[in-house]
Each structure stands twice: as structure tokens, then as C-alpha cells.
A and B are shown apart, each in its own frame.
Chain A
């Protein structure tokens, strides 16, 4: 259940941004999550809904985008998408590969209202 901890961090970031941008309410939060993060979407949504009450984002909608895992072969240099956690180069069959994408855990946008007084 690391989804819970990550959502806790997410609300820390949301708070900081809301203060900086002087937001009074938030309607939508968008995140981008890489395949290496082992996030179960339902659990992340559940944790988000449980945490948002009594925050500036109470009632906010969560939009999740998932990014595939990408690797680069250290042997032949081919860049490929990792399917089903098989970290083997599709071009040369080499097993010495480096993960070059899929570790993202980002907040990509916040939709809210600003205090304009």
C-alpha cells in the first residue's frame, strides 16, 4: 500500500503549489506515473479520495496517465518498450539493458480557482 504514502506526498506538493499560486479551491489534479512505480490505479484513486476531504482539493477529480517502461540496450543501443517486465533487447537479444523511462511519478497539472481580491 505505498499508494497511500505517495498520495500523502502528493498532497504535500499540492499544498505548496496552492500556497504559491494563492489557490482557494482545486477541481482537478493530473498525475503521470511510470510502469516501474507498481501503482495500482484503483488503490491510488482510493487513497486520493480518502485524503482529499478537508483539504483545498476536496471534491477534486484525479486524472492518471500511465507511462510505459522504456529501456536502452547497452550492447547495440536499441531503444525499446519493456513489455511484461521482460528486460531483454528485442534487437540483439542482449540482457545488459538500462531502464531509461518508466520511473516517473509527477504532478502534471492543477486546475483551480485563485483568490483575486
Chain B
């Protein structure tokens, strides 16, 4: 016999996405999902973000790593609630694991949850975890062709961060070509060119984020 249907294969993930979204909406919490290659500077961006934001808003962090707790340890000094997930080889996060982390949090006393996803440009883009915005982080040493090679992440992103701009003079990275390619994939996405460790351009990113958090609380 043949059974005809049209059933979402990721139905289990989507169910948990609905629960996550509901919980966040109840408590007016904004949730961001930071996605980028290994070493692109996701943790460094979090450090710069916490330095500029943790006085003003109640931020909680979810750190995902395949192995080790090193990134979490780097963020401890900010004194914000920190939830660590070892994915044990998995190349992305799914919504059930995010829900489990949210359940450990005091969401009523949280304004924004920022998630550092596993370093990977493909898999995390395919799994909704109930976030309000995906943030794509790309960096100068990776080369200017990343939007063209990994278009779906850049298409799905609500903001793109081009990090390590302090290294442009030492590489053949062509900012114009990066921007042109990005615009073909996503003509309207805000682009923040910055140096997470040097500080240049970080303020524009913080301003965007502050506006997002405030909008989510209105």
C-alpha cells in the first residue's frame, strides 16, 4: 500500500520551536542566534557585546561547543547567567536543547538571550531554534567569498557582522566585493563592519541591538 502525505520531517523540532517562541513572548525576551565559522570571532563579539550591553540590559548567554568549556570560561568575568551546551559532535543546535536551557533560566529577569551556535556556516542555518534573529558572523581572514559560498546563512540572517576589519590591510580581502555579493543574496540586511577585539565599528552594532531589545519590550 502507498500512503500519501505531506508531513514536515522536522516536525519534532518545529513543535519545540513553538514552545520556545511562546515562552519568550510571555516574558518579552529577545533571543539571538549567532552563527559563523570556527574562529570568525563569535565569542569575541559576545565579549564586546557584553561589555557594552550588560550594564543596560539583563543578558543571558547560551554557549554551544562541540567540545570544551573554553568559550564559557572567557565570558565568566562579565557575571551574566551562562548556560553551556556540549553538543558532543553535533554540528548545530536544535530547539529541544534550547528549551531545556531556557527552563533553567529566570526569564522574567532576562531581557535578551544570546546564543553562540556551533562554529559552522551550513548546518545551524537549517535548524530553527525559536530565535528572533540569526546573526551571521564572517571575518576578514576567511576571505571575501563567504556570502557566495554559503548563501543560505546570509539570506536568513537578520544582521551580518563582518569581523576583524583591522586585518584588511594585511590580506587580499575586498570589502566591496564582499558587499556586492552579500547584496545579491540579501539586499536589505544590515551589515556591521567591525573589529570585535579592536573596538572599531562595535558601537553601530550595539546601537542596532539596543534598538532591537527595546522594540521587543514595547
A2 touches B127 (CB 8 A): yes
B186 touches A87 (CB 8 A): yes
- Considering the complex, give the chain A residue whose CB is closest to the CB of B123: A2
A70 to B128, CA, bound (A): 20
Cβ of B168 under 8 Å from chain A: no
Cβ of B187 under 8 Å from chain A: yes
- Answer whether A85 and B122 are a contact pair too, CB < 8 Å, given A10-B9, A31-B9, A111-B2: no
Smallest distance from the beta carbon of A20 to chain B beta carbons, Å?
Answer: 9
Interface residues of A in 25-71 (CB under 8 A from B): 31-32, 36-38
Smallest distance from the beta carbon of A111 to chain B beta carbons, Å?
Answer: 5
> Which residues of the partner chain A approach B151 to less than 8 Å between Cβ atoms?
85
Interface on chain B toward A: helix, strand, loop, or mixed SS?
mixed
- Interchain CB contact (< 8 A) of B8 among A99, A106, A110: A106
How many residue-residue contacts, CB under 8 A, span A and B? 92
Among B2, B90, B94, B127, the one with the most A-chain Cβ atoms within 10 Å of its Cβ is B2
A44 to B24, CA, bound (A): 34
B187 touches A97 (CB 8 A): yes
Smallest distance from the beta carbon of A103 to chain B beta carbons, Å?
Answer: 9
- Considering the complex, give the chain A residue whose CB is closest to the CB of B7: A107
Cβ of B10 under 8 Å from chain A: yes
Q: What is the 8 Å Cβ interface bit string for chain A, positions 84-108, against chain B (1 contact, 0 not)?
A: 0111100000111101000001111
Interface on chain A toward B: helix, strand, loop, or mixed SS?
mixed
B12 touches A9 (CB 8 A): yes
B7 touches A95 (CB 8 A): no
Smallest distance from the beta carbon of A38 to chain B beta carbons, Å?
Answer: 5
Cβ of B101 under 8 Å from chain A: no
> Which residues of the partner chain B approach A108 to less than 8 Å between Cβ atoms?
4-6
- Answer whether A88 and B187 are a contact pair too, CB < 8 Å, given A2-B127, A99-B155, A111-B1: yes
- Interchain CB contact (< 8 A) of A106 among B9, B122, B148, B155: B9
A85 touches B4 (CB 8 A): no
Cβ of B215 under 8 Å from chain A: no
A112 touches B1 (CB 8 A): yes
Smallest distance from the beta carbon of A17 to chain B beta carbons, Å?
Answer: 7
> Which residues of the partner chain A approach B148 to less than 8 Å between Cβ atoms?
85
Interface residues of B in 30-86 (CB under 8 A from A): none
Cβ of A5 under 8 Å from chain B: yes
> Which residues of the partner chain B approach A113 to less than 8 Å between Cβ atoms?
1
Interface residues of A in 1-25 (CB under 8 A from B): 1-2, 5-6, 9-10, 12-13, 17, 21
Cβ of B188 under 8 Å from chain A: yes
Interface residues of B in 10-37 (CB under 8 A from A): 10-13
Smallest distance from the beta carbon of A81 to chain B beta carbons, Å?
Answer: 15
A107 touches B187 (CB 8 A): no
5 contacts between A and B (CB under 8 A): A5-B92, A88-B184, A95-B184, A109-B4, A110-B5
